[in-house]
Amino acid sequence: MQVKDVMTSNPTCCTPDTPLPEVARMMEQHDCGCIPVVENQDSKKPVGMITDRDIALRGVASGQDTQSMTARDCMSTSVVTVTPEDSVDECCKAMEDNQVRRVAVVDHQGGCCGMVSQADVALDTSGKVGSVVREVSQPTDSAPNISSQ
């Protein structure tokens, strides 16, 4: 089974300059907890990821004025990527190795064309979800070394 068989296609993306309240509205509108942050809407090259947890911890909990913040202020700048042609096994390994719950799917030009989350992997009937959840959730002594795949 390939990534293209389990990924969510054409995810909603924001740019680093997208106002934080707009990012939160995007999450609400699309019922998701993570938005890929792309260089611009033309290239769709991923430059970060922003989650509802990022907004809560780096924005709200920090005491800053979230109304004046942008995605850049809260996003993670490391993005793990896979391609639609990669196997689900390769995708699971990338998630496990980098201890992430979501990966961006990039096309041949490097543009974000999809997302794979643990929930998407659960659709894979080979039983990988338990392994992925276990490996992603393992405590680590240091931050994971996240790189593009």
Full set of structural domains in the chain with CATH: 3-136 (3.10.580.10)
For residue 99, what are its two tokens?
Answer: 């201890």
Judged by average pLDDT, the poorest of 51-55, 104-108, 120-124 is 120-124
Judged by average pLDDT, the poorest of 6-15, 62-71, 84-93, 134-143 is 134-143
Q: Which residues touch 76 (CB under 8 Å, ≥6 apart)? A: 48, 49, 50, 51, 54
- Burial zone of 97 (CB within 10 Å; 0-12 exposed, 13-18 middle, 19+ buried): middle
CA–CA gap between residue 111 and residue 143 (Å, rounded): 26
% helix, strand, coil for the chain, step of 5: 35, 20, 40
3-state secondary structure of 38: strand
Mean pLDDT of 17-30: 96
Q: Would residue 110 be called left, alpha or beta, if left means φ above 0 and alpha means ψ between -120 and 50 degrees?
A: left
At 79 the pLDDT is: 93
Mean pLDDT of 78-84: 95
Percent pLDDT > 70 in the chain is: 82
- pTM for this prediction: 0.79
* 126-147 confidence digits (pLDDT tens): 555 556 655 655 555 554 444 4
| Strand partners for 38 | 46
